[in-house]
């Protein structure tokens, strides 16, 4: 038996016996999955200084305490309802939002929820070995915070499946634990979630760029006419911003350290002799994770995207900021020189939003580099570069968007994307994990401040006495 108190929630779980039974059945499977596929080597003897959401008001969702990872209280939270909320776009614009799933949209809604849900445990699986090679206790704690919250995001989607999709929903909830990242027979649904993340540079780039795709998707789902989906994803966004912070500041701290080392070595570009990560290598990781995350937004021209919008299932990010009629029956989008009905180009519209959001981070890092007096600028690669989904899949472009032959692409690929040698070098840097409070691996600068106003040398992860 599980008690409702073990699952902090604001959905009145103790009064919903049917839902409680369904979750009772699912929870042991989740915990089994977490032990098998969650952070390796940190399940039983370590306590982590984590934030647990215990309610959705500002004082409640940031409750900090030491917990063992398997004892984290994964809860179910929906953002507070908006009184008289109306559908904000598509053919039903202006009508009241739905509290139940309309029969005719059951399949596409289930598909949207399952696709989102599948990414959450996938990233935990991808990152499960990183604790073994952490650059500091501060970073280790942040990794685990991201991991438990991705676990909670899985709970959030499973809550929707159990509550609104009956038998099919329960089956899907089981499948979310049956697929695993990189598994030959049952892989995760989306490609970016099937490769292990073995280096901390990859982890930070993933949290910066791929979690930001999560933000794109959650923003557009939070516009949904299905009110429980909207409220669930709205609360997930508050947690997602911490993941983006971890990625953005992690990369920024590596950049900072690299610049310091460059200055020490008389502005040499090659900081490897000093045990640093050179800026071009960071750029290759930006190229890789940005391009994979562009793919996650789907094809440029998409009838699915059009149907989701027309039927009010999934809107644009920040729908109300768009100065149009939110119906888009007549609007067009210019895809290069091609005119496309706007509704069919909504993946591309979301990608535009995403690219802008990424750009802010890149500009911040560039300011930092300039502040060190170093002449180097990061750039986001062209949207045609290294794509596997959409109209540019199967073609080759350099990061500036110039077409290349297959031979030239093969010859020059390692200039633009992380190579096996890059990964081997990064692994050599992180071979000795840093578990001493306040100490940081040589390749990364300390953060400006600690978590929850604790000092930087706080023991963010401790072994049980």
Which residues are at the interface with Fe ion (CB under 5 A)? 120, 150, 153, 211, 214, 240, 243
120 or 223, CB closer to Fe ion? 120
Beta bridge partners of 46: 463
172 or 211, CB closer to Fe ion? 211
CB 383 within 8 A of CB 344: no
214 or 298, CB closer to Fe ion? 214
How many Cα atoms occupy the beta-carbon half-sphere of 264 within 13 Å?
13
Q: How far is the CB of 48 from Fe ion (least distance, A)?
A: 17
Q: How far is the CB of 244 from Fe ion (least distance, A)?
A: 8
The closest of 204, 227, 181, 232 to 9, measured between CA atoms, is 232
**How far apart are the C-alpha atoms of 415 and 444, rounded to whole Å?**
23
Q: How far is the CB of 155 from Fe ion (least distance, A)?
A: 11
How many Cα atoms occupy the beta-carbon half-sphere of 233 within 13 Å?
25
**How far apart are the C-alpha atoms of 464 and 421, rounded to whole Å?**
38
**How far apart are the C-alpha atoms of 409 and 405, rounded to whole Å?**
6
Q: How far is the CB of 240 from Fe ion (least distance, A)?
A: 5
143 or 434, CB closer to Fe ion? 143
Q: Is 404 exposed, middle or buried (0-12, 13-18, 19+ CB in 10 A)?
A: middle
Query: Which tokens sit at 309?
Result: 């919008």
Q: How far is the CB of 241 from Fe ion (least distance, A)?
A: 9
The closest of 425, 444, 433, 431 to 140, measured between CA atoms, is 433
CB 13 within 8 A of CB 2: no
Handedness of CA 419, 388, 245, 256 (dihedral sign): positive
Q: How far is the CB of 110 from Fe ion (least distance, A)?
A: 19
211 or 278, CB closer to Fe ion? 211
Q: How far is the CB of 214 from Fe ion (least distance, A)?
A: 5
CA distances to 151, 363, 380 from 283, rounded to whole Å, are 30, 13, 9
Q: How far is the CB of 410 from Fe ion (least distance, A)?
A: 34
125 or 211, CB closer to Fe ion? 211
207 or 282, CB closer to Fe ion? 207
203 or 288, CB closer to Fe ion? 203
């Amino acid at each position: 038996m599980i008690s409702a108190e073990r699952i902090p929630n604001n959905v009145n779980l103790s009064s919903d016996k049917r839902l409680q039974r369904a979750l009772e059945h699912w929870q042991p499977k989740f915990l089994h999955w977490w032990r098998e596929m969650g952070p390796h080597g940190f399940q039983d003897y370590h306590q982590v200084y984590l934030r647990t959401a215990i309610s959705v008001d500002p004082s409640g969702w940031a409750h900090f305490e030491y917990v063992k990872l398997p004892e984290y209280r994964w809860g179910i939270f929906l953002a507070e309802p908006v009184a008289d909320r109306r559908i904000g776009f598509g053919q039903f614009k202006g009508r009241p939002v739905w509290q139940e799933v309309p029969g005719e949209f059951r399949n596409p809604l289930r598909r949207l929820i399952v696709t989102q849900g599948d990414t959450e445990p996938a990233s935990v699986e991808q990152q499960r070995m990183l604790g073994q090679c952490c650059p500091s206790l501060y970073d280790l704690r942040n990794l685990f915070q991201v991991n438990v919250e991705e676990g909670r995001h899985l709970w959030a989607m499973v809550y929707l499946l159990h509550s609104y999709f009956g038998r099919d929903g329960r089956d899907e909830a089981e499948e979310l634990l049956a697929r695993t990242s990189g598994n030959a027979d049952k892989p995760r649904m989306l490609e970016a979630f099937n490769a292990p993340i073995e280096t901390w540079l990859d982890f930070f780039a993933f949290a910066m760029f791929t979690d930001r795709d999560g933000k794109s998707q959650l923003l557009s789902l939070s516009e949904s006419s299905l009110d429980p989906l909207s409220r669930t994803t709205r609360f997930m966004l508050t947690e997602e911003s911490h993941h983006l912070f971890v990625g953005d500041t992690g990369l920024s701290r590596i950049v900072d350290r690299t610049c310091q080392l460059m200055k020490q070595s008389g502005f040499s570009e090659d900081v490897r002799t000093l045990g640093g990560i050179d800026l071009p290598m960071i750029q290759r990781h930006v190229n890789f994770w940005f391009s994979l995350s562009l793919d996650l937004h789907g094809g440029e021209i998409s009838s699915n995207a059009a149907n989701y919008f027309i039927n009010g299932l999934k809107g644009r990010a920040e729908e109300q900021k768009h100065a149009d009629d939110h119906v888009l029956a007549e609007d067009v989008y210019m895809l290069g020189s091609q005119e496309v009905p706007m509704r069919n180009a909504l993946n591309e519209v979301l990608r535009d939003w995403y690219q802008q959001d990424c750009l802010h981070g890149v500009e911040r890092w560039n300011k930092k580099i300039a502040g060190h007096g170093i002449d180097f600028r990061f750039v986001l690669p062209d949207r045609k570069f290294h794509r596997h989904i959409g109209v540019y899949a199967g073609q080759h472009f350099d990061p500036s968007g110039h077409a290349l032959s297959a031979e030239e692409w093969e010859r020059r690929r390692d200039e633009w994307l992380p190579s096996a040698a890059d990964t081997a070098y990064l692994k050599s840097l992180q071979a000795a994990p840093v578990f001493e409070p306040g100490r940081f691996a040589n390749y990364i600068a300390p953060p400006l401040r600690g978590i929850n106003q604790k000092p930087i040398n706080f023991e963010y992860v401790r072994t049980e006495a």
